[in-house]
Amino acid sequence: MSRFAEPQDPAFREMNTSLGFDQRLWPHDVAQSRAHAKMLAAQGIIGHEDRDAILSGLDAIEAELRAGTFPFEANDEDIHMAVERRLTEIAGRSGGKVHTARSRNDQVVTDVAMFTRAAARSAQEQLSVFMATVVEAAERHLDWALPGYTHLQRAQPVYLSHHLLAYFWMAARDRERFAAVERACGVMPLGAGALAGVNFDTDRGFVARELGFDSVSPNSIDAVSNRDFILDYLSAAATCATHLSRLGAEIVLWSSSEFGFLILPDAWSSGSSIMPQKKNPDAGELLRGKAPRVVAHLTALHGVIHALPLTYNKDLQEDKEHLFDSVDTLRLCLAAATGMVAGARFDRERMSDAASDELIAATDLADLLVKQGTPFRESHGVIAGLVREAVEGGKSLADVAVPKLGEEARAVLSQSSWLESKASEGGTALARVREQLTAARALLG
Ligand code: ARG
């Protein structure tokens, strides 16, 4: 029997069905049903024969899903209904008992929490690989000078190791965020029922232990309404993808002939359909281009949840595609970032030429006056005047500065001193970069 006399409008059916995208939750759905059936039998809510029929039916279903032979039907609205329908076909009336003391409302959010926890773990693993790759690249280019930029104008020289390690620290913070996401996914919603709890003496702790959750949700209403852990994942993913977009942007710039700082490995480059000479940094461009899509998924899910009355509403079905697309996008972005950092060939000479422009040492010259007793603001003005004189007169900064400031100015204007004088904590001097590398290695464990 059904509550409905009329069939669903085909357009409504298409709108309402989530099977097309929630199929990928099946490993969690099957695992959840196994744990639930074991608990129901242990509590005497279903018989042991029912449990055994359910468990072997789930084994058969798992095999079908794995092999791609699972017989989906037009009426299967989502993966939960498809699995339960098939279980009843295989296990008969026992199969019809698996949904005792459970609702799709607590079932779906439990599957999604398990999925998100796995995604948060693999993001941490991928980030660890990326971080190790960055550290290795930094070690290979420890004392290679290049300009550091502000406003994309040459600002002060730095070592390439120092610049690369900036991405290490971003990734380290990202990894922390994903660890927090993993913790947020550790509270099991299952057992909340539709919203109010269930009419059976269930053992939620048993199910939580079976499924590897840390605890059970303390409030059934919150449990079926909660999607915070997805927001947390999307937020961590958005920040991480945004970090990678900055790396992508620098790869695009640095691999251009104008910069010429690096050559990308062929494995991460593509050609042009018309210009035979081209080697394009598409992967770097895609790191730039994909980040806003993850940010948009975060914003969209905030929109879905905003002002949503408690408890479950079908709006919440819209959580999944934002999550899934973000997980897939981030996985590719992290792989691309790692591949490009590992394989990039840097051009030491091009970078060092760009970093040997004396004007880049204007701050160092101003600091020389400060050390001789001039307040910084005044010395800034004095050096700005010298820079202007040099630029307008077509002279080098040394030609203008040495007669006025003495021989010490010449020493300041020699390249290695600009770098090694930045010996403050966290600065680019080699001793400080080595400290960073030690700290970075320690974080990698
Ligand atoms: N496919 C649904 C979703 O993703 C499952 C939960 C359906 N619950 C319900 N009461 N209709 O949210």
What are the tokens at 311?
Answer: 């408890």
Percent of the chain with pLDDT over 70: 100
**61 CA distance to ligand 1 centroid (A)?**
21
Q: What is the pLDDT of residues 49-106, one digit of tens each?
A: 999 999 999 999 999 999 999 999 999 999 999 999 999 999 999 999 999 999 999 9
Q: In degrees rounded to 5, what are phi and psi of residue 235?
A: -65, -45
Q: Could you tell me if 202 and 228 lie in one domain?
A: yes
User: Which residue's C-alpha comes closest to atom 3 of ligand 1?
Assistant: 317
Q: Could you tell me if 389 and 329 lie in one domain?
A: no
What are the b/e assignments for 52-83, b being 16+ CB within 10 Å?
Answer: ebbbebbeebbebbeeeebeeeeebbbbbbbb
- Name the residue of 105, 115, 225 to mutate for ligand 1: max ligand atoms within 8 A of Cβ: 105
CATH code for the domain in which residue 267 is found: 1.20.200.10
The rounded distance, in Å, linking the Cα atoms of 84 and 54 is 10
**225 CA distance to ligand 1 centroid (A)?**
11
CA-to-CA dists, residue 222 to 40, 266, 268, 309, 336, angstroms? 23, 50, 45, 11, 38
Q: What is the pLDDT of residues 147-157, one digit of tens each?
A: 999 999 999 99
Q: Would 332 be classed as within a structural domain?
A: yes
Domain end, chosen from 83, 100, 117, is at 100
Q: Could you tell me if 124 and 189 lie in one domain?
A: yes
Residue 415 has pLDDT above 80, yes or no: no
Report the pLDDT averaged over residues 162-171.
Answer: 98
Per the structure, the count of domains in the chain is 3
Give me the chain's average pLDDT, please: 95
**17 CA distance to ligand 1 centroid (A)?**
9
Q: What pLDDT score does 51 carry?
A: 98
Q: Would 437 be classed as within a structural domain?
A: no
Q: Which domain holds residue 84?
A: 21-100
Atom of ligand 1 nearest to the CA of 78: 1
Report the pLDDT averaged over residues 381-400.
Answer: 92
Q: Could you tell me if 278 and 377 lie in one domain?
A: no
**78 CA distance to ligand 1 centroid (A)?**
8
Residue 416 has pLDDT above 70, yes or no: no
Q: Would 59 be classed as within a structural domain?
A: yes
| Ligand 1 pocket, CB under 6 A | 18, 22, 78, 104-105, 108, 312, 314, 316-317
Q: What pLDDT score does 417 carry?
A: 78
**109 CA distance to ligand 1 centroid (A)?**
9
Q: Could you tell me if 373 and 268 lie in one domain?
A: no
Report whether 160 contacts 148 (CB < 8 A).
no
156, β-bridge pairs: 148
- Name the residue of 21, 23, 32, 78 to mutate for ligand 1: max ligand atoms within 8 A of Cβ: 78
User: Which residue's C-alpha comes closest to atom 4 of ligand 1?
Assistant: 317
Report whether 114 contacts 186 (CB < 8 A).
no
Q: Could you tell me if 95 and 110 lie in one domain?
A: no
Q: Could you tell me if 121 and 237 lie in one domain?
A: yes
Q: Could you tell me if 41 and 188 lie in one domain?
A: no
Q: Could you tell me if 291 and 329 lie in one domain?
A: yes
Q: Would 418 be classed as within a structural domain?
A: no
Q: Would 235 be classed as within a structural domain?
A: yes
Report whether 189 contacts 25 (CB < 8 A).
no
Atom of ligand 1 nearest to the CA of 312: 10
Residue 362 has pLDDT above 90, yes or no: no
Q: Which residues are catalytic?
A: 151, 272
CATH code for the domain in which residue 380 is found: 1.10.40.30
Q: Could you tell me if 229 and 83 lie in one domain?
A: no
Find the largest Cα–Cα distance for the chain: 100
Domain end, chosen from 100, 132, 165, is at 100
Atom of ligand 1 nearest to the CA of 314: 12
Q: Would 4 be classed as within a structural domain?
A: no
- Name the residue of 81, 84, 104, 111 to mutate for ligand 1: max ligand atoms within 8 A of Cβ: 104
CATH code for the domain in which residue 36 is found: 1.10.275.10
Percent of the chain with pLDDT over 90: 87
**126 CA distance to ligand 1 centroid (A)?**
31
Q: Could you tell me if 40 and 133 lie in one domain?
A: no
Q: Would 438 be classed as within a structural domain?
A: no
Q: What pLDDT score does 147 carry?
A: 96
Q: Could you tell me if 86 and 159 lie in one domain?
A: no
Domain end, chosen from 100, 126, 144, is at 100
Residue 25 has pLDDT above 70, yes or no: yes
Q: Would 435 be classed as within a structural domain?
A: no
pTM: predicted TM-score of the whole model, two decimal places: 0.95
